[in-house]
């Protein structure tokens, strides 16, 4: 008599590797303002705990893309996911993981720093005591603890930007979008903001999408997406984008890819 074949042990269901789920996935996104096409079949990912620079000239489509990711505009074509949550189908889960710093300033100038933060925390449903603790912690982190009760109107431009970043972090997002956050700031304030955001990536594992037209804000370790006239012309690790464009530096790569003239002073 032959003994029955041993039963195969049940195999565990493979679980997706959390690190493999992009912080942000943009998939085939197009957008038009009436007859004007602002984005054409745009696709790219932002990895968790990475800094991705979205490089483009004025009018490239960066703000339009941010408006779609934040659901200010409805998606016409394509799909956007935040840590695997489709922003159209599961907006609550998706937006909970997202922090945003828009290009125009959106602080209330006549409220104090703390009041601005508490107001925003309330919008996110964070209870008052927790909101006060997080606000104090974030103000200390951006070096403005001693200004907590000052009116925002009395801050410098760089301090206001730091406060906006703190506000965007109050609900502890895992993905942070910043739309040209250093525009109008002096060299020192720019450097402070860039280094603060880079620390968020390395120390807290936040995925960052940083829209800019300034080459000197991008580092060799960054991921780069070159957006031009609504189309992605190149994407990947910065060094690869430069090599594939047959260039030695990001300025020349950008010029070759877009045919644009690079402005003196390191800006596209
Ligand atoms: N509300 C609108 N109505 C019509 N066209 C628009 C509107 N907003 C943007 N556009 C057009 O869409 C294109 C992309 O603009 P967008 O503002 O997204 O670019 P950007 O890269 O953010 O540039 P900037 O840095 O100057 O804001 C441009 O041609 C712009 O003129």
**Together in a domain, 252 and 189:** yes
- Of 173, 195, 225, the residue that ends a domain is 173
Q: Is residue 229 part of a domain?
A: yes
Residue 265: its pLDDT value, please? Answer: 46
Q: Whose CA is nearest to atom 8 of ligand 1?
A: 64
**Together in a domain, 128 and 255:** no
Q: State both tokens at 254.
A: 């950008």
- Of 173, 205, 228, the residue that ends a domain is 173
Q: State both tokens at 139.
A: 């103000």
**Together in a domain, 169 and 188:** no
The C-alpha atoms of residue 150 and residue 163 are separated, in whole angstroms, by 12
**Together in a domain, 247 and 120:** no
Q: Which of 35, 40, 54, 60 to mutate to test the pocket of ligand 1 (most atoms within 8 A of CB)?
A: 60
Q: Is residue 25 part of a domain?
A: no
The C-alpha atoms of residue 255 and residue 203 are separated, in whole angstroms, by 34
Q: Which of 31, 32, 36 to mutate to test the pocket of ligand 1 (most atoms within 8 A of CB)?
A: 36
CATH number of domain containing 232: 3.40.50.300
Q: Whose CA is nearest to atom 3 of ligand 1?
A: 33
CB 51 within 8 Å of CB 196: no
Q: State pLDDT tens for residues 5-33.
A: 555 566 665 555 656 899 999 999 999 99
Residue 91: its pLDDT value, please? Answer: 94
Residue 53: its pLDDT value, please? Answer: 97
Number of folded domains that form the chain? 2
**Together in a domain, 161 and 197:** no
Domain span at 249:
48-73+184-260
Q: Is residue 20 part of a domain?
A: no
The C-alpha atoms of residue 268 and residue 264 are separated, in whole angstroms, by 9
Atom of ligand 1 at shortest distance to CA of 34?
Answer: 4
Q: Whose CA is nearest to atom 29 of ligand 1?
A: 59
Residue 1: its pLDDT value, please? Answer: 46
CB 116 within 8 Å of CB 167: yes
Task: Please tell me the distance between residue 66's alpha carbon and the centre of ligand 1 in angstroms.
Answer: 11
ipTM greater than 0.90, yes or no? yes
Residues in contact with ligand 1 by the CB-under-6-Å rule are: 33, 36, 38, 56, 58-64
**Together in a domain, 154 and 221:** no
Q: pTM, whole model, 2 decimals?
A: 0.89
Task: Please tell me the distance between residue 59's alpha carbon and the centre of ligand 1 in angstroms.
Answer: 5
Q: Is residue 268 part of a domain?
A: no
- Of 122, 145, 173, the residue that ends a domain is 173
Q: Is residue 165 part of a domain?
A: yes
Q: Is residue 169 part of a domain?
A: yes
pLDDT beneath 50: ranges in the chain: 1-2, 264-265
- In the block, tokens 């932002």 appear at 46
Q: Is residue 97 part of a domain?
A: no
**Together in a domain, 193 and 141:** no
Task: Please tell me the distance between residue 158's alpha carbon and the centre of ligand 1 in angstroms.
Answer: 25
Q: Is residue 42 part of a domain?
A: no
Q: Which of 26, 59, 183, 226 to mutate to test the pocket of ligand 1 (most atoms within 8 A of CB)?
A: 59
């Amino acid at each position: 008599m032959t003994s029955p074949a041993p039963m195969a042990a049940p195999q565990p269901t493979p679980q997706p590797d959390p690190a493999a789920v992009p912080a942000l996935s943009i998939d085939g996104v197009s957008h038009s303002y009436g007859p004007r096409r602002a984005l054409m079949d745009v696709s790219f990912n932002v990895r968790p705990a990475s800094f991705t620079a979205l490089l483009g000239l004025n009018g490239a489509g960066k703000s339009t893309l941010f408006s779609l990711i934040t659901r200010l505009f409805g998606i016409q074509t394509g799909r956007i996911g935040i840590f695997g949550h489709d922003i159209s189908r599961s907006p609550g889960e998706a937006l909970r993981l997202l922090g945003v710093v828009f290009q125009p300033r959106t602080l209330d100038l006549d409220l104090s720093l703390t009041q601005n933060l508490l107001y925003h925390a309330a919008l996110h449903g964070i209870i008052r005591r927790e909101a006060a603790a997080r606000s104090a912690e974030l103000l200390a982190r951006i070096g403005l603890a001693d200004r907590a009760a000052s009116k925002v109107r009395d801050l410098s431009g760089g301090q206001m930007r730091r406060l906006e970043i703190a506000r965007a972090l109050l609900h502890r997002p895992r993905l942070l979008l910043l739309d040209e956050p250093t525009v109008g700031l002096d060299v020192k304030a720019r450097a402070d903001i860039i280094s603060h955001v880079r620390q968020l990536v390395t120390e807290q594992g936040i995925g960052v999408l940083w829209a800019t037209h300034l080459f000197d804000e991008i580092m060799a370790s960054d991921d780069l997406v070159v957006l031009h006239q609504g189309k992605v012309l190149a994407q990947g690790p910065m060094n690869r984008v430069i090599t594939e464009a047959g260039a030695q530096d990001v300025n020349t790569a950008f010029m070759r890819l877009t045919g644009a003239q690079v402005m003196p002073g390191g800006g596209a």
